[in-house]
Amino acid sequence: MADYIARLVDATHPGQSTAAQGVRFGASPRAALSLASAAKARALMHGRPNASFEDVQALALPVLNHRVLLEYSARIDGRTSADLVRSILQEVPKQALEQPKTLKAAA
Protein backbone atom coordinates (compact mmCIF):
# COMPACT_ATOMS: atom_id res chain seq x y z
CA MET A 1 0.00 0.00 0.00
CA ALA A 2 2.83 2.39 0.80
CA ASP A 3 4.13 2.18 -2.78
CA TYR A 4 0.67 2.81 -4.23
CA ILE A 5 0.06 5.77 -1.92
CA ALA A 6 3.47 7.24 -2.79
CA ARG A 7 2.77 6.91 -6.51
CA LEU A 8 -0.66 8.55 -6.10
CA VAL A 9 0.79 11.50 -4.23
CA ASP A 10 3.68 11.80 -6.67
CA ALA A 11 1.21 11.87 -9.57
CA THR A 12 -0.33 15.07 -8.17
CA HIS A 13 2.86 16.98 -8.98
CA PRO A 14 3.33 18.85 -12.28
CA GLY A 15 5.02 16.71 -14.91
CA GLN A 16 4.54 13.42 -13.03
CA SER A 17 1.29 12.40 -14.74
CA THR A 18 -0.92 13.51 -17.59
CA ALA A 19 -3.69 14.25 -15.08
CA ALA A 20 -1.47 16.79 -13.30
CA GLN A 21 -1.52 19.28 -16.16
CA GLY A 22 -2.50 22.62 -14.71
CA VAL A 23 -1.30 21.82 -11.19
CA ARG A 24 0.70 24.49 -9.44
CA PHE A 25 1.50 22.59 -6.24
CA GLY A 26 0.97 18.87 -5.66
CA ALA A 27 0.26 17.04 -2.44
CA SER A 28 2.99 16.90 0.20
CA PRO A 29 4.52 13.89 1.98
CA ARG A 30 2.16 14.66 4.86
CA ALA A 31 -0.71 13.94 2.47
CA ALA A 32 0.74 10.46 1.94
CA LEU A 33 0.92 9.91 5.69
CA SER A 34 -2.66 11.12 6.11
CA LEU A 35 -3.90 8.84 3.34
CA ALA A 36 -2.11 5.85 4.86
CA SER A 37 -3.54 6.55 8.32
CA ALA A 38 -7.05 7.07 6.97
CA ALA A 39 -6.86 3.82 4.95
CA LYS A 40 -5.74 1.90 8.04
CA ALA A 41 -8.59 3.40 10.07
CA ARG A 42 -11.14 2.52 7.38
CA ALA A 43 -9.87 -1.06 7.26
CA LEU A 44 -10.21 -1.38 11.04
CA MET A 45 -13.71 0.08 10.94
CA HIS A 46 -14.62 -2.62 8.42
CA GLY A 47 -13.14 -5.35 10.64
CA ARG A 48 -9.97 -5.94 8.63
CA PRO A 49 -6.43 -5.80 10.06
CA ASN A 50 -4.81 -4.39 6.88
CA ALA A 51 -5.65 -1.60 4.47
CA SER A 52 -6.47 -2.54 0.90
CA PHE A 53 -6.35 -0.77 -2.45
CA GLU A 54 -10.06 -0.15 -2.09
CA ASP A 55 -9.51 1.65 1.23
CA VAL A 56 -6.91 3.92 -0.34
CA GLN A 57 -9.09 4.61 -3.38
CA ALA A 58 -12.16 5.34 -1.23
CA LEU A 59 -10.27 7.94 0.78
CA ALA A 60 -8.00 9.47 -1.86
CA LEU A 61 -10.54 12.09 -2.88
CA PRO A 62 -11.35 13.46 0.58
CA VAL A 63 -7.70 13.34 1.69
CA LEU A 64 -6.00 14.73 -1.43
CA ASN A 65 -8.71 17.08 -2.70
CA HIS A 66 -7.76 20.07 -0.57
CA ARG A 67 -4.00 19.37 -0.72
CA VAL A 68 -3.58 20.19 -4.42
CA LEU A 69 -3.44 23.73 -5.78
CA LEU A 70 -4.36 24.27 -9.41
CA GLU A 71 -3.01 27.04 -11.62
CA TYR A 72 -5.32 29.93 -12.35
CA SER A 73 -5.72 28.91 -16.00
CA ALA A 74 -6.86 25.41 -15.00
CA ARG A 75 -9.47 26.84 -12.65
CA ILE A 76 -10.70 29.20 -15.38
CA ASP A 77 -11.08 26.17 -17.65
CA GLY A 78 -13.38 24.65 -15.02
CA ARG A 79 -11.01 22.01 -13.66
CA THR A 80 -11.17 21.19 -9.98
CA SER A 81 -8.81 19.39 -7.65
CA ALA A 82 -11.48 16.70 -7.24
CA ASP A 83 -11.37 16.10 -11.01
CA LEU A 84 -7.59 15.81 -10.77
CA VAL A 85 -7.74 13.21 -7.99
CA ARG A 86 -10.33 11.16 -9.89
CA SER A 87 -8.14 11.24 -13.01
CA ILE A 88 -5.07 10.20 -11.04
CA LEU A 89 -6.96 7.25 -9.54
CA GLN A 90 -7.71 6.13 -13.11
CA GLU A 91 -4.17 6.76 -14.37
CA VAL A 92 -2.01 5.27 -11.60
CA PRO A 93 -2.02 1.45 -11.60
CA LYS A 94 -2.40 -0.44 -8.34
CA GLN A 95 0.81 -2.35 -8.97
CA ALA A 96 3.98 -0.63 -10.14
CA LEU A 97 4.80 -1.67 -13.68
CA GLU A 98 8.47 -0.82 -13.43
CA GLN A 99 11.11 -0.92 -10.77
CA PRO A 100 11.51 2.54 -9.15
CA LYS A 101 14.36 4.66 -10.50
CA THR A 102 16.10 4.68 -7.13
CA LEU A 103 16.23 0.88 -7.08
CA LYS A 104 17.42 0.71 -10.69
CA ALA A 105 20.39 2.92 -9.82
CA ALA A 106 21.32 0.70 -6.87
CA ALA A 107 21.34 -2.50 -8.94
How many independent structural domains does the chain possess?
1
* DSSP structural state of residue 11: T
Q: What pLDDT sits at residue 103?
A: 53
Closest CA to 14 of 23, 3, 4: 23
Average pLDDT over all residues of the chain: 90
Mean pLDDT across 3-32:
93
CATH (domain of 93): 1.10.8.80
* Residue span of the structural domain in which 74 resides: 2-106
Is the pLDDT at 96 greater than 90? The verdict is no
pLDDT band at 95 (very low <50, low <70, confident <90, very high): confident
d(CA 94, CA 11): 13
